[in-house]
Chains A and B, each alone.
Chain A
């Protein structure tokens, strides 16, 4: 089984809809991250969490929110989706060496 899983893998939605992307990990890491990836751009950090009670904004948090339900679960929400949030979204965890381990990604399309 994969160490970092994401659901759904693909999602098509309409402008204004609320969307939740979920991430689960079995690596036992405290640190978790949400990134988005757009063609021609590097991965950009949306939010990160160092433990259940510690959540921090990343470079591009506007329009997004997160919830850390447990050490193993970290969810990303788009409260009112807009077309420029169409992207590939990745969840990651990191160990004590700061090496990050990524999930398979969620491809989100906002029409």
Chain B
């Protein structure tokens, strides 16, 4: 069964304290892995798509990496405005539907 697990459920960091969020997946052939950011009361906002193991993408303080079993979202020197829930989703080769993880709630304290 295709599955996505995100950890931790919640992460509290001080401003400037770098860390990583994890997205583990089981899928019968990966077509793509997606990262989104969701602010309270809003819809998810697209960040990155990764397609193959070893691929990396960066945007400001965020860098996403991909292996055959998991993806990491690295946050370098975060600021309070990086506080949000980060969602991961995978798409299998055999199915266009996205399978979503439950998300990691990130809180950055000033």
On A, residues with C-beta under 8 Å from B are: 4, 40-45, 48, 58-59, 90, 92, 97-105
Smallest CB separation, B30 vs chain A (Å): 12
A98 touches B44 (CB 8 A): no
B96 touches A42 (CB 8 A): no
| Residue from the set B34, B44, B46 with the largest chain A CB neighbour count within 10 Å | B44
A58 touches B97 (CB 8 A): yes
Q: A98-B32, A98-B96 are in contact. Are A43 and B45 (CB under 8 A)?
A: no
On B, residues with C-beta under 8 Å from A are: 4, 31-32, 34, 41-46, 49, 87, 89, 91, 96-103
Smallest CB separation, B44 vs chain A (Å): 5
Q: A90-B43, A98-B32 are in contact. Are A42 and B100 (CB under 8 A)?
A: yes
A42 touches B103 (CB 8 A): yes
Smallest CB separation, B15 vs chain A (Å): 27
Chain B residues within an 8 Å CB radius of A101: 46
| Residue from the set A40, A98, A104 with the largest chain B CB neighbour count within 10 Å | A98
By beta carbon, the residue of chain B nearest A102 is B43
Smallest CB separation, B69 vs chain A (Å): 18
Q: A42-B103, A105-B43 are in contact. Are A100 and B98 (CB under 8 A)?
A: yes
A42 touches B101 (CB 8 A): yes
A104 touches B49 (CB 8 A): no
User: Bound state CA distance, A4 and B96, in angstroms?
Assistant: 21
B45 touches A40 (CB 8 A): no
